[in-house]
Copies of this chain bind each other. A is one copy, B any other.
């Protein structure tokens, strides 16, 4: 119980150091680090590694074919768990600049919020974890657990080297759990613990008819129409209840555990308002399937784009020579992109062998059981940090590269977003609520204590 007895003092110290922590975050925010444009990325890495070294961590800057990874360790708690804390020091481009009320790289506080590119995504959140750890070091001379920070510089360009890096550095990254803070909560009133993400597989279908567009009068009935080819092919892939009908597609879809069912039921949601905000008055088929059950337990096959022939005003009597469909599939835990792609390609080969299938990017789904012993510890830390019991979100609808931790390293992984719902990540006037930044520091500080005493 040593660590928990120390926690009150550490939390008090966190509160005393608020101004210093905010100043250090603002210094980090003043340094642009736009990975997509290679602006300031190395300067930011240098600034951050300097800070981490000064705070008492063993720091390595490890090159990749892109921007470098920063790995910072403190291993002074033998026999205690090791937390791998993931985050990123790169930011999105700030355009359009004239939409910013204050310049993106001049951090400014208004109405209790700190505005700057990267304030929420992700400097303000990864720095809350760093601040918590250094306050432990300053206050007690050590951390109650071992900590490894993995902070990458390419998250905003899709983490192109993260998977290879993690696979190549299993020993360096050995840990007992992964802890990440990124993104906004759905609702400021409810802190969240997120246990996983849906996977993503993007594909494209291309059908070719004649070598050129034809006059529908001269050729209609004679030349094949590639738009019809794709309409028919797609018609074999989804039933009236929006269930994917590709053979074997759902073989690895498991029914949700009782704990997940209970968690979904507890997520606060005004479904009527959520739908009304996007102009809908009801959910599509099937009847009787709940909002979160749709989002968390069922894979999707989404038409992201269908393009063929003429799309201008009025009419053009053309028989198109080409048709293209872009699809993305959101996968649920236990599905894999390779297996689903093989089944998808096989389905196309059986139903329309003349159609070309192109595989675009993807991400594996990731899930840490809500029943995992560490989950209760994370929840308790969030409750201490934010002063309110968190909501359990079993799965995000979107996709993040979380599987590099859960699948490659085999670790439980927890996502606790610190940022406010109107964080505006990727948009002008990105910000983080300053009080939530402090709550994040307290959450991380508490997590170290509760993990140590588990």
Contact = CB atoms under 8 A, between A and B. Distances in A.
B218 A397 contact: yes
A427 to B, nearest CB: 13
A279 B321 CA distance: 10
Looking at chain A's contact residues, the main secondary structure is mixed
A216 B315 contact: no
A399 B311 CA distance: 22
Contact of A309 (B240, B298, B317, B326): B326
Nearest to A211: B279
A225 B223 CA distance: 30
Contacts of A204: 315
Interface string A363-398: 000000000000000000000000000000000111
A375 to B, nearest CB: 23
Contact of A216 (B220, B235, B300): B300
A298 B222 CA distance: 10
A225 B225 CA distance: 23
A2 interface: no
Interface string A198-223: 10101010000111101111111111
**Identical copies of this chain, number:** 2
Kindly state the interface size class of chain A when it binds its partner. Answer: 35 or more
Interface in A312-362: 314-320, 323-324, 326, 328, 330, 360-361
Interface in A47-77: none
Interface stretch (A98-106, A127-135, A142-150, A226-234): A226-234
Interface of A: 198, 200, 202, 204, 209-212, 214-225, 227-228, 231-232, 234-235, 238, 240, 242, 278-280, 283-284, 291, 294-295, 298, 300, 302-311, 314-320, 323-324, 326, 328, 330, 360-361, 396-399
| Residue in A300, A306, A308, A324 with the greatest tally of chain B CB atoms within 10 Å | A306
A358 to B, nearest CB: 10
A231 B225 CA distance: 14
Contacts of A217: 198, 200, 330, 396-399
A222 B398 contact: no
Contact of A227 (B202, B215, B303): B303
Given A221-B298, A318-B304, A280 B228 contact: no
Contacts of A317: 200, 202, 302, 304, 328
Given A317-B202, A326-B311, A295 B397 contact: no
Nearest to A284: B224
B212 A278 contact: yes
Contacts of A396: 217
A406 B283 CA distance: 52
Nearest to A202: B315
Nearest to A209: B280
Given A280-B223, A302-B319, A238 B234 contact: no
Nearest to A276: B211
Contacts of A330: 216-217, 220-221
A101 B280 CA distance: 59
Contact of A315 (B219, B295, B310, B326): B326
Given A238-B228, A315-B361, A302 B220 contact: yes
Nearest to A204: B315
14 contacts: A211-B278, A214-B278, A221-B242, A227-B303, A227-B306, A232-B238, A235-B235, A303-B320, A304-B318, A304-B319, A305-B309, A305-B316, A307-B307, A307-B308
Contacts of A210: 278-280
Nearest to A360: B315
Contacts of A308: 303, 305-307
A380 to B, nearest CB: 28
A330 B278 CA distance: 39
Contact of A310 (B211, B305, B399): B305
Given A304-B310, A304-B318, 19 more contacts: A210-B280, A212-B279, A214-B278, A216-B300, A217-B330, A217-B396, A220-B302, A222-B397, A223-B278, A223-B284, A227-B303, A232-B238, A303-B308, A304-B316, A305-B309, A306-B311, A311-B324, A311-B326, A317-B328
